[in-house]
Structure 1
Amino acid sequence: MKPDIIKKVTIRAVPAAVLIALSAYLLKGDVWTFWTWYLLAMVLGIVTMPLTGRLFREFDDKGWMFSKVLAVVVTGFGTWFLVAVKLLKFTSLTCIGVTLACGAGCLLLGKAQHKKGIECLPVNHLDLVYWEEILFFVFFLLWTYLAGFHPAAYGTEKFMDYGFMEAMMRSTTLPAVDLWYSEGNINYYYGGQYFAVFLTKLSGTSVELTYNLMRTFVAGLAFSLPFSLIYQMTRDRMGKRAAGAVGWRRYFPQITGVVAGISVSIAGNMHYVVYGQVLPFLQKLTGQEPDSYWFPDATRYIGFNPDVPDKTIHEFPCYSFVLGDLHAHVVNIMFVLLLLGLLYAWIKMVRKKDFVLGQPGTGEFWGKQLFMPQILLAAVLLGMFHWTNFWDFVIYFVVTGGVVLFTNIVLMKGQTKWILGVTAAQAAEVLAVGTVVILPFTLNFETMVQGVAVAQYHSLPHQLLILWGLPAILTVIFVIVLLVEKLSGAKHKTIFHFMESLKLPDLFAMIMGLCAIGLVLIPELVYVRDIYENGNARANTMFKLTYQAYIMFGMTMAYVIFRLMVISYKKFLKAAAGVALILLVWTWGYFGNSVSSWFGNVQDPSQYKGLNATAFLETDFPEDAAGIRWLKKNITGSPVVLEANGDSYTEYERVSAMTGLPTVLGWYVHEWLWRNDVADLNTKSGDIELIYTSQDEKQVKELVEKYDVSYIFVGSCEKNKYGENLNHELLSSLGETVFQDGSSGTYIVKVG
């Protein structure tokens, strides 16, 4: 081997070796599960490359990072579909079998493409692939290490997220029995937790660890996927200049990609800069005691400061990753990023000079329009969003429509009839395909939406400016710059000529920025009605819409700053971009503030607690821990285990949440949202109290039989709620006491 090759291999091996050693040191015993998931994602991604490379063939890396997510979609969604239509059982063997079948299909596709001379592997950009893998490993490891300082699946909505996973781990059918409503199945967007369970079963790992690992896996991808997309957009915009760039300028695409990845995954918003940095600094200057900053304040600003009867939510990925929820909108981050990457790959394909559109109206023409693989896959993803996070279906159907419409304006040469006709046909196609693939979910799902209403409250202008002013102003400046550049002095000033003159990255960045602005404005006009209408009517609408706005804004800002600083010749635009970059980088400080507030002293690896999401039971529920673990170890299937019911976001339902075993009724507000039947919930709540407190043996037995209760748990929450009214003797007489804790008195009765 030549010395220069040996040197290059050695240089590449050092970072990888250091990271492997560092992960073993930081994660201790958890590192085996961490490595298992990393390697599983890598292998799945490699095997899926024939498909990914075909879809992303205009990308330098052929969609290498997107292949990991596409592999999860193909294998996981395929498994779910076959289980949901009752062709297969949801077991580890099924997950492995479907994955192997999908892998075999991809390999056959790769062989067929190789015979045709189609290259779907990034053989000419292996350095890029290597560094993408390194960056993904770094961020996956970073978030996994942090999770080990606060691993408990306890607080906020973690009981629900973890409970869904445990319920599906027990179930061989989907949807699983609702752990908080034993008479029905889960009636919520459970797709995110499903994918976590699918990967758990596929990898043979433990849900106690993979609850946390799934969210850190998504967090790693939340950096890597924006990096890949914005790197490619920047490189495309530089064109030939990228190949001839010297010095640090040749790294513009990489730098812009890193800025995008950080801005999406670990940045905060300008609320942190204003209230966490600027105002405390001014207070110090004037001799005042500076206000402390609590990181959730950045997500609870409109309606809270000042305090008005319009409580809203405006969260973003970093907050979610720190808090540790594994909710629908969190897991779906990697899927919406896949969709955005796919749409850009589609634009690059159809706008190539050698792309043959066909004569409008002919069979060849319609075949081209309706059988584009990127559009068909986008349709499947949008259909899947019904099940992973329905809000994202609505949001990204519009985003997809905008991309398709703007692209068709150019493809159809500005001919209005064909622009509208083709766009309408493709929209119908997307809806039809998306509707069909998700039928096993929608046919068994009762919507929680109660209509749309006009917003009665509106955000204060300065609040909107603080939260969204930076990306919105940047986007507006960018659009104005494009209009001036392309239309000033142009002979034809039409929408078609404007769109045709735009470079593809500029067009795509403009679409993302404008869509994000629209998502911010919609809650100021209308909101989706649900049970939270009294006091925080706009909260859920603003939450779900602006969450996606934040993701698109993060990538748009990174690209626009590069575009204005590097491509523009106007000094004032370069200066404006420089100021924007300073402010954007300033928001990254939110990460450090939130990490230190939530996780503690992460600089000390000895304080790492591990990834076990249930370890808190021994400290927070010492009376119940042994009983809960007994149930999890000894009970198979999903028999009903009765426990005291309570309000949402409380310690109640710790048994069902930690075991996945269904109880008669769980968190009240959640079931109210999912079922919208208050009378039924109140009846169940009263019946549970009667079982625990009634002295009428016949009545208790009838209720136990009515709800098919197999086990009755009597522990801390039951004692606190019912106190002296607990009918211990009657409960014990119903069957065999299969567990009893001698120190705490907690016991479990198996109903005879």
Structure 2
Amino acid sequence: MNLLLEFLLAACYFLFATLPGIAWLILLFYIKSPSVDAKVNNDPSEGLEVLTVVSQHFFWVLLTLTTWWVAWAYQSTLSAPLGFVGLASVFYAAALLIPLLLVFWFSATKSSKPRWRTCSHQLMQFAASESARGLAIRLGQVLLLQFAVFLGWSFLRKYNPELLSLEKFMDYGFIESIRNYVAVPPIDPFLSGYGINYYYLGHWLSALRSASIYKFPIAAYHFEMSFILSQLFIGVFVLVRYCFRRLRANDISRTSPMNYSAAVVAFLGACFVSFGGNAHLFYHFIKFPSKAYWFPTATRLIPASIHEFPLYSFVVNDLHAHVLAITQNISLITLFLLGAFNVKEVAKSWSKRPLLYSCLWACVQAMIFAYGAASHSWDLPTWGVLLFFLTWITTKSIKHTFLMSLMAAFCSVFLTFPFMETFFPIPKGFAWVSADMRSPLPEWLGVWSLHLIFIVILLSHSRNQIKRLTPSVLIQNPEYLGLSVLVLWGVLLIAIPEIVYVKDIYSSHPRANTMFKFTYLSWMLLGVALSVLLGHYLLSPFERLSSTKKMVVQSTLALVVVAIALAGSFGYTFLAIRSQVVRPQSQMNDINSNTPQSLKFPGEWAIVEYLKSNSLPTDVIAAAAGDSYSTMGIVSVFSGRAPIITWKVHEWLWRGGLSAELSYFCKNKRLPCPDAADTITRRYNDVETIYTSNDCQTVLQTLKRYSVRYIVLGMQEQTKYKADQHRMAAFGMTVAFISNDAILFEVPKDYSGCGE
């Protein structure tokens, strides 16, 4: 694949992902614009670029929920899947056309003149207005910066496009399963006969976006990671810039403005949140100065815990649920701060039409909660609290806020019905953190000392201003109120895993998941809020003529400390990318390259290509049953054909135990439901029976139990089970495909006995 084709694929993916959201944003601007003759000094487009990521995200949330519900309803009534590419194309086209039709309708109804002529005149006048041009320039700048990040990371990924390690294997399997067969729930790529029992709606969204380049699935996976990174970067950039400008606009003592300060603060904030590392690099070189640095340790420094951050996810390339939730989190941070900053204006409009605004806001919250519950439910407590707080400061009524929250919760339960109908909750309750489980102080500082330094600088440098921020003053200054709430909640998310945790199957790492999910979101909350507040307070002395020399010196010293902290953070970035992405010995590959997979497993990869062209998406295969994070199941993952069982620990987590009866999960009727005695342990034993037993009848009964259509006999099966192709042939299995010592046997449909 040449560079030009890869660039065209990247552009196609990016435009497919961004244009509908931008179309809806333009519609919003057109409706809100008071006059097509608006001047630049009163430009209604000012600050509207902040909604760019929000509009992109909420378009895809609506599209995902719509296609999800259509697929569920169609499957429930007709018991047949929809073609995913066709389904995506229809809704995507509708999403592009609806804003244009609404603009046409609004234009045509503004006058009693003939509609076509009026509409043409209105649209031409709108397009030629200064405010429309201002919006176009702002959106163009935002999209160009976002595309640059998207294209840059996609280019780096060409040096290491493999998908065999960590949980990339699982994430790609989820997306491939959804692409191959649109059903609710999607087929579990590790367990035949059952649907995915995980937060899969984010993977549904990824499969939906990948419809734009359906023939290039591996490239689509990498583009999805790059697109999420670009949304994170541009989302933080425009939000920090907007908040910084708002604080500056309210600072009446500022008399000497710095023209580029907002852009610099926004850029550094976006780089820190998106590309920055934690304080582990400092910790390592202080404690182990002569030891080689290994970047994953930064996410496992605290014993028996996980404390990842966005950059690590993008470096290891795991498209997991918490990564797919990044765009939602940045969009909701934006929504929260926009609501808090403009609470007076919103409250004024709300008081004029309370019923309408209450219903609309309840519906928006319901959509947020519904999507979050089915994509990454760990973030729901945060958004429940923040949206409740935002509603309360807007309505000034606890009773009204409770009613709207209850309405939103009720509607979200309805919206998530296709998910909750077949979902088995994974958490096992709550437990208190014992003293011996708490984080040791040196290791805790090795993770969070950068944020601690930023908070200490902020508190010490602005202590006089903070003393004046009483509750009544905060209410009158909603900018400080919104940012302060984000900082406090971010700190609380770090503290919660030191007090209580959610129980799961990992007894040796009991609070790892709780710390992981909460601190991942905390990184974004603190990153946005601290970037704005630090930039505002540290740069203010340089912009005020009334500033004393002492204030300037203090700010200079504080900026030096911040610069050193950022240098350590970005030093981690360099080492991580060099270790995992652009290694010194790595060669540039195609973005859609299957080379890492095909070189390591040439025979299995040939079988994958054969199955994708010559089998049904619902066909079940027998293949080596491996542990989690192994490559056993490569044929299933990349072909979208489910195996009897693989990835034991993950299925153990999702199904409630190795000996738990799987019949509980058999609510998806598109495949035959196994018997009540079906368990993960039994399946592992049955796979071994298929490959090792010399009893033909036993093997046949086992194959029938799981409706197996194909048997894979590749390098992994031969190594683990010492399987023999002659034994399969003696049992009457026919060779469907053979390549590089890997054989695919087909179980004849009319095969009813042995020795026939």
The TM-score range, normalised by the shorter chain, is 0.7 to 0.9
Whichever residue aligns with residue 690 of structure 2, its letter is: I
Q: Are 1:518 and 2:518 an aligned pair? A: no
Give the TM-score taking structure 2 as reference length.
0.84
Equivalent residue for 2:318? 325
Contact kept, 8 Å, 1:735 with 1:749, in 2: the verdict is yes
* Cα displacement (A) at 1:476: 6.2
Q: Distance in 2 between matches of 1:637 and 1:235?
A: 53
Structure 1 partner of 2:590: 610
Please tell me the residue identity of whatever aligns with 1:103: L
Does the 8 A contact of 2:275 with 2:570 survive in 1? Answer: yes
Q: CA deviation at 1:623?
A: 3.6
Secondary structure at the counterpart of residue 678 of structure 1: coil
Q: Which one of the candidate residues 56, 71, 82 is aligned to 2:70?
A: 82
Cα distance in 1, alignment partners of residues 567 and 73 from structure 2: 48
Residue 38 of structure 1 is matched in structure 2 by 14
The more displaced of 572-581 and 126-135 is 572-581
Partner residue in 2 for 1:238 = 248
Match of 2:534 in 1: 561
Give 1:107's aligned amino acid. Answer: L
Paired amino acid for 1:392: D
Q: CA offsets, 1:365-416, max 9 Å, x none?
A: 4544x1354x6324312220111111122332223334444x34xx53xxxx
Query: Are 2:407 and 1:424 aligned?
Result: no
Structure 1 residue runs without a partner (length 5+): 1-23, 284-289, 304-310, 413-417
How many equivalent residue pairs? 685
Does the aligned pair in 1 maintain the 2:737–2:745 contact within 8 Å? yes
AA aligned to 1:616 is P
The CA deviation at 1:329 is 0.7
CA gap of 1:525–1:539, structure 2 versus 1, over 3 A, is: same
What SS does structure 1 have at the residue aligned with 2:47? coil
Which residue does the alignment assign to 2:702?
A: 703
- Greater shift, 42-51 or 637-646, is seen at 42-51
**1:185-334 superposed matches below 5 A:** 185-239=195-249, 249-276=258-285, 283=289, 290-303=290-303, 311-334=304-327
Query: Partner letter of residue 721 of structure 1?
Result: K
Which residue is equivalent to 2:581? 599
Does 1:508 pair with 2:477?
no
SS of equivalent residue, structure 2 residue 712: strand
* 1:131-172: CA deviation from partner (whole Å, max 9, x where unpaired): 222211211111101111111111101111111111111103
Going from structure 1 to structure 2, the CA distance change for 1:577 and 1:397 (only over 3 Å counts) comes to farther
**Counterpart mapping for 1:256-655 below 5 A:** 256-276=265-285, 283=289, 290-303=290-303, 311-352=304-345, 355-358=348-351, 364-368=353-357, 370-373=358-361, 376-405=363-392, 407-408=393-394, 412=396, 418=397, 420-456=398-434, 457-475=437-455, 478=458, 484-485=464-465, 488=468, 495=471, 497-502=472-477, 504-532=478-506, 534-567=507-540, 570-571=551-552, 572=554, 575-601=557-583, 607-612=587-592, 614-655=594-635
Instruction: Return the letter of the residue paired with 1:387.
Output: A
- Shift of residue 205, structure 1, vs aligned partner: 4.3
Aligned counterpart for 1:748 among listed residues 745, 750, 756: 745
Whether contact under 8 Å (1:614, 1:658) holds in the other structure is no
Partner of 2:736: 738
Deviations 1:407-430 (A, max 9, x none): 34xx53xxxxx3x22332232233
Q: Give distance in 2, aligned partners of 1:297 and 1:710.
A: 43
1:698 is displaced (CA, Å) by: 1.3
Conserved 8 A contact 2:17-2:209: no
**Is the 1:641–1:711 contact (alpha carbons within 8 Å) kept by the matching residues of 2?**
yes
Q: Is the 8 A contact 2:184 2:419 kept in 1?
A: no
Q: Distance in 2 between matches of 1:429 and 1:50?
A: 30
Distance apart, 1:245 and its partner CA: 8.3
Q: Structure 1 195/148 Cα, relative in aligned 2: closer, same or farther at 3 Å?
A: same
Match of 1:73 in 2: 61
Matching residue within 73, 92, 98 for 1:99? 92
| Kept in 1: contact 2:617–2:640 (CA 8 A) | no
Q: Secondary structure of the equivalent of 2:134?
A: coil
Q: Does the residue aligned with 1:712 lie in a helix, a strand or coil?
A: strand
Tell me, in whole angstroms, the C-alpha distance in 1 between the residues paired with 2:466 and 2:132.
34
**Structure 2 counterpart SS, 1:179:** coil
8 Å Cα contact 2:198/2:654 also seen in 1: yes
- Do the aligned residues in 1 keep the contact of 2:88 with 2:208 (CA within 8 Å)? yes
Residues 643-678 of structure 1: CA deviation (Å, up to 9, x unaligned) = 010110112111111111001111100110111131
Residue identity matched to 1:273: F
State the partner residue of 2:670. none
Residue type at the aligned position of 1:701: L
What SS does the corresponding residue of 1:268 show, helix, strand or coil? coil
Structure 1 residues 105 and 637 mapped into 2: Cα distance closer, same or farther (>3 Å)? same
CA contact (8 A) 2:712 2:742 kept: no
Distance 1:446 1:740, change over 3 A: same
- 3-state SS of paired residue (2:515): helix
1:695: how far off?
1.4
> Partners in 1 of 2:401 and 2:639 — Cα distance?
48
Quick check: 592-601 or 217-226, which moved more? Answer: 592-601
Whole-Å separation in 1 of the counterparts to 2:278 and 2:381: 24
Structure 2 residue identity aligned to 1:69: H
Preserved CA contact (<8 Å) 2:325 2:375: yes
Equivalent position of 1:692 in the other structure: 691
Contact 2:84–2:182, Cα closer than 8 Å, also in 1: yes
CA distance in 2, matches of 1:193, 1:431: 23
| CA separation of 1:183 and 1:356: change in aligned 2, threshold 3 A | closer
Once residues 529 and 539 of structure 2 are traced to their aligned partners in structure 1, the CA distance between those partners, rounded to angstroms, is: 15
SS in 1 for 2:351: coil
Q: Distance in 1 between matches of 2:137 and 2:446?
A: 40
Residues 1:665 and 2:645 are matched in the alignment: yes
Structure 2 Cα separation of the partners of residues 748 and 246 of structure 1 = 77
- Does the residue aligned with 1:181 lie in a helix, a strand or coil? coil
Say whether the 8 Å CA contact 1:58–1:349 is kept in structure 2. Answer: no
Q: Higher mean Cα deviation, 475-484 or 423-432?
A: 475-484
1:446-505 CA-partner distances (Å, limit 9, x unpaired): 1111001011210012222232233245346646877843654x9xx5x3x132232x33
Secondary structure of the residue that 1:183 maps to in structure 2?
coil
Letter in 2 for 1:684: R
Calculate the TM-score normalised by the size of structure 1.
0.84
The CA RMSD over aligned residues, in Å, is 3.0
Work out whether residues 165 and 207 of structure 1, in 8 Å CA contact, stay in contact via their aligned partners in 2. Answer: no
Question: Any idea what SS the aligned residue of 1:319 has?
Answer: helix
Query: How far apart are residue 551 of structure 1 and its match?
Result: 1.2
Moved more, 229-238 or 97-106: 97-106
Quick check: 2:273–2:527 contact (8 Å CA) kept in 1? yes
Query: 1:472 & 1:396 partners in 2: Cα distance?
Result: 24
| Shift in CA distance, 113/350, structure 1 to aligned 2, threshold 3 Å | farther
Using the TM superposition, give the Cα deviation of residue 441 of structure 1 relative to its aligned residue in structure 2, in angstroms. Answer: 0.8
User: CA separation of 1:445/1:745 partners in 2, compared to 1, >3 Å: closer, same or farther?
Assistant: closer
Distance 2:218 2:538 in 1: 47
User: Is this contact kept in 2: 1:694–1:727, CA < 8 A?
Assistant: no
Q: Which moved more, 1:571-580 or 1:36-45?
A: 571-580
Letter in structure 1 aligned against 2:320: H
Contact map agreement 1:519 1:546 (CA 8 A) in 2 = yes
- Return the offset for 1:691: 1.4
User: Quick one: distance in 2 between partners of 1:380 and 1:207?
Assistant: 29
